[in-house]
Structure 1
Amino acid sequence: MFKKILLLLLILTILSCNATKPAIVTTKPVPGKVKKPVSRSTKHKAKPTTKGTDSHTPNRSVAEVIESSSRTSVTNDVIGNYIIQYKDIAIGNMKKYGIPASIILAQGILESGAGRGILAMNANNHFGIKCHTGWTGDSVKHDDDASQECFRKYNNPAESFDDHALFLTGRSRYASLFSLPKEDYKAWAIGLRKAGYATDPKYPEKLISYIERYNLEQYDNQALGRKYVPSERQTIKIASVDNRSGSFYEVQKGDTLYSISKKFNLMVDQLKQNNNLSDNTLSIGQKLRVN
C-alpha cells in the first residue's frame, strides 16, 4: 500500500514540472524564401547649392549676347559706356544729316557689339558696312552672309559714324526714311529693315529695344532742342561723367595718346585696349575711357 502511495506522489511531481515549462513553437521555413536581416541607417540631408553664385558676392551687371557680324557678350555697363562715349557724335550727326541720334546709337550698339565686336576692334567699323562698289578706302575680310566678305576699315570710330551718315543719305533706297518724323524712332527702325539695311526680320525690334531700355530718344530731343520727359517704363540708368573727371576724357586739340596716358597715369597700350583702338589716331571731341 505504501509503495502505491509513493508511486502516485512521484507521478504527480513529474506532471507538475512539465506544466511550468513554456511551449516551444517551431515554424518550418518556406522553400526558396530567405528572410533578409533588417539594417537601419540614418540619412543626412544634403545642403542645397547654387551653381555659380556666392551669397557674399555683390550683384553684377546682367550679360547679354549681341549677334551681328560677330557674336559678342556684353553687360549693361559696357553698353552704357558705349552710349556715353558716342552720344555727342550721334547728336551732331542728327543735326547735320537728319538721322535720329537714337537710331544711330542703337545701330552702333547692335552692329558693333557695343564696340566689342570683331569689326569694331579690328577695323573701327561700328555699323557693319561692307565695301560695296566705289569704296576706295582700306578694307578687311570677314565672314558674314558669305565667307571672307569685304568690309570697310576706318582710322577711328568717328570716321565710321560719319560714313554711316553718308551711306544712308547717299543711297536712293534710304531716301524714304528722311520723310519720316525725326522723333519717330520706331518708324525709322522699321524703315531701315524695309530698305534692306539688314536681313534679320527682328532688326527693328532689336533697335527699338535698345532705344527704350536706355532712353536713347533723349538724345533726339537734345538735337531738336526739345525738353525731354522720361517715360514711365522701366529703363537702365546710365551714369553721366564730366570731361576730365570720372570715366571718360574728351580729346582736345593737340592731345595725343601719350599725353593723355600721362594725364591719367596709364600705359598707352592700356588706353588703346580700353577704347578698342587699333592705331594712335585721335579726333577732336572723341571720348576716351580712362579708368
Structure 2
Amino acid sequence: MNGLEFTAQMVATVAWPIVVLVLLLVFRRWITATVSGATAGARIKRIKLGPVEAEFEEKAADAARSVAGALAENASPPPVDGPVPTFFADLIPLAALSPRDAIRMAFAHVRRALVQVYPQLADVGEDGLPDAVRELARRGLVKPGIADAVTRLRELAGLAAGPAEAVDARYALQYLTLAEGAIHAVLRAAPAREPGPDRWRGTYDGRFPIELSIQRRDGGQFTGLMRYPDPGPATTTRVQGEARDGVLTWRETAYITRGGREIDLRGRYEARISGDELTGSWYQGEREVAGFVMTAAEPG
C-alpha cells in the first residue's frame, strides 16, 4: 500500500457527513504544511485559508509550538476500559509517533461504541465486525450508513496495517477524524429503552435457579431485586448496580424476604449482555467464586 491508495480509500468513505469531507479537502494542504513546518521548527509568518488571510507574529507561532509540545508531554491515550471516548485529542501525539497504532486504537474505540449500543456484537472480533453490523442493518437494527462507515473504517485500518512507511501522521489524523465521527453516529443511534423493569432468569453455578429484576433506571445506574426460588420459600434481596458498555455489575444490599437460601451480601455480580443472554460470575473481593447464565424473561 502507498499513500495514494490510502487516500483513495479515505475519499471513498462516502458515508460520512459532507462537512467532514469538506473540512478535510479544503484545509488538508494547510494542515499538512503547517504541522510539518511546526514539527521542523519553522516559524509561521503568514497563512491563507481561502479568501480569509490571517497573519501570525513570531510569538504566536512560538506559543502554538509550546501548546503542541505540552499536549504531547501530558496527553495519554483514552483507556480501553473506561467510557467510550468521543474526542480523540489525546490520540494526536500517538498519531505523530506511531500512526498505525493510533489508527488501530481508534478503530478499537469504534468497536467499543458499537458493543455498548449493540451488545450482541460483544463476541465479534474486529475482522468480523463489518459483516456482523451489515447483518444487523439487514434486520433493521442498525442504520445502513453506520454499517457502511464501519466497513470503510475497517478497510482503512487493514490498509494501514501494511508497510510502516506507507502511512504517516497525516493519514492517521484524518482517520481519527472519521473514527470520531463514527463514534458520535453510533452513540446517537442508540435505541431508546422501553420503560419498565428488565427481567432475567437463569442458573447459578449450574445448580440452582436465580432471577434478576431491574425495576428502576437512572442513567447508567439501576435498582431492583434478586430472587432465589429454590429451596422454598423463596429468598429475595434488594440490589443496586450499574450498566456500562454492555456489562452489568450489581450488589445485594439487604434482604427483602428471608427464605430457604442464605445470601452473602458482601459479594458482587458482574456479567456481560450478549443478545438475550447474560453471562457472568459472582465475586468476593477480586476472587471469582462461581459463574452463572441468565436469559431475558418476559415482564410479569
The normalised TM-score by structure 2 is 0.21
- Give the structure with the higher percent strand: 2
Determine which structure has more spread, i.e. the larger CA radius of gyration.
Answer: 1
